[in-house]
Amino acid sequence: MSDTKVYRASTTAPVNIAVVKYWGKRDAKLNLPTNSSLSVTLSQADLRTLTTASCSAAYKDDVLLLNGEPSDLTGARTQACLRELRTRRAALEDKDASLPKLSAMRLLLVSENNFPTAAGLASSAAGFAALVRAIADLYELPSSPTELSLIARQGSGSACRSLFGGYVAWQMGTQADGLDSQAVEVAPASHWPEMRALILVASAAKKGVSSTSGMQQTVATSGLFQQRIADVVPANMKRMEEAVAARDFAAFAEVTMRDSNSFHATCADTYPPIFYMNDVSRAAVRAVEAINAAAGQTVAAYTFDAGPNAVVYYLEENKDTVLGAFYPLLEKLDGWKEGAKGLKSTVQFDETVA
């Protein structure tokens, strides 16, 4: 029967890991940031969200199944995404009466992250990018990546960058409506094809303080944060854009590590303090320092999001040096992904950047 017909679309979205971090909102409703940020989109070969969106007149409620569990869809930011997408679909239906009225149907969203959720590996970025694109595909919206990115930003700020590959800046913008707070590609992945990222899972457990709540506490209580957004981040954005343009790994690495340190310093300066890094994270920092000291040049750069897990950027030519140095750390790492053969505990080698 036609009224029980199910319409369906699936998509995947990649993780992006910031090298100049977003941390702070100037408008929590529209998810407008206190500073610009810049990230590298990782290959979907290892870390990705897979989301299937379906709708049917037979569905009774909007439902999100995240990693097999019913998950909250009622949050204001998720609702903002759904509302924008439905409004766009309704406009198409108004123009063409032959289109099925999908905008009036309930949605079933089935999503799976093949990496730890809410553990500081940007699950909200890949998650909302996939959610928005899956629904846009289901609704057959003629939306550009920029338009989808503006919607995904309202779900989770970092998600706006996951609609693009390569090196992506999220320009904070100045407008109150947020229409200029958007992600732009700074350079495609092909600009620097030797770039690699190694993901070290120190803990796959859900973090104690979500990114949304953590940054809110930092904005409210940290003095150091004021200096970060006024001076540190603008300088880091400029240096990072120059480093990427020139493919200058030493400069890229220094800004990446300094910006991660600056971000975690503002977390420590939050009152009460927030600690996302743990002993294994700090051991990874020391390992990177030892690799660079032994090499006599900077060949590896660590960065940590709001969680204990390290992402280490390096160039393909230094693969053996970098990966070899991390083997002694592996026993301390939390296992989460099968298939890392020959390694006692698991480590995610994400060999390519998208």
Which of 44, 211, 218, 309 touches Co ion by CB under 5 A?
211
Query: Per CB under 6 A, which of residues 291..350 are in contact with ligand DP6?
Result: 305-306
Rounded-to-integer distance, Cα 217 and Cα 24, Å: 9
**Interface region with ligand DP6, contact rule CB under 6 A, candidates 152-160, 219-227, 267-275, 316-324:** 152-160
| Residue 37 interacts with ligand DP6 (CB under 6 A): yes or no | yes
Cβ proximity to ligand ADP: between 35 and 124 the closer is: 124
Q: What is the DSSP secondary-structure string of 84-107?
A: HHHHHHHHHHHH-TTS--GGGSEE
Residue 23 contact partner, candidates Co ion, ligand ADP, ligand DP6, none, CB within 5 to 8 A by sort of partner = ligand DP6
Which residue's structure tokens are 């303080």? 209
Contacts 24+ apart (CB under 8 A), 64-72: 64/109, 64/111, 65/108, 65/109, 65/110, 65/111, 66/111, 66/112, 66/113, 66/117, 66/127, 67/111, 67/112, 67/113, 67/117, 68/112
Cβ proximity to ligand DP6: between 55 and 172 the closer is: 172
Cβ proximity to ligand ADP: between 220 and 245 the closer is: 220
Nearest to 325 by CA among 289, 278, 350, 282: 289
Query: Per CB under 5 A, which of residues 135..174 are in contact with Co ion?
Result: none
Kindly state the number of chain residues that form the binding site for ligand DP6, as judged by CB under 6 A. Answer: 15
Which of 11, 13, 14, 22 touches ligand DP6 by CB under 6 A?
22
Evaluated on CA atoms 172, 173, 174, 175, the torsion sign reads negative
Cβ proximity to ligand DP6: between 116 and 157 the closer is: 157
**Interface region with Co ion, contact rule CB under 5 A, candidates 13-21, 74-82, 208-216, 336-344:** 208-216
Reduced to 3 states, what is the DSSP secondary structure of residue 226? helix
Cβ proximity to ligand ADP: between 85 and 119 the closer is: 119
Min dist. Cβ of residue 18 to ligand DP6 (A): 3
Strand extents, DSSP E, 43-178: 48-56, 63-66, 69-71, 106-113, 167-170
Residue 118 contact partner, candidates ligand DP6, Co ion, ligand ADP, none, CB within 5 to 8 A by sort of partner = ligand ADP
> Residue 259 in contact with residue 311, Cβ under 8 Å?
no
Reduced to 3 states, what is the DSSP secondary structure of residue 25? strand
Give the Å distances, CA to CA, from 241 to 12, 46, 171, 335.
28, 26, 12, 35
**Interface region with ligand DP6, contact rule CB under 6 A, candidates 18-26, 141-149, 198-206, 289-297:** 18-26
Interacting residues with ligand ADP (CB under 6 A): 49, 66, 111, 113, 117-125, 127, 131, 156, 210-211, 305-307
Residues in contact with Co ion by CB under 5 A are: 124, 211
Residues in contact with ligand DP6 by CB under 6 A are: 18, 21-23, 31, 37, 122, 124, 156-158, 211-212, 305-306
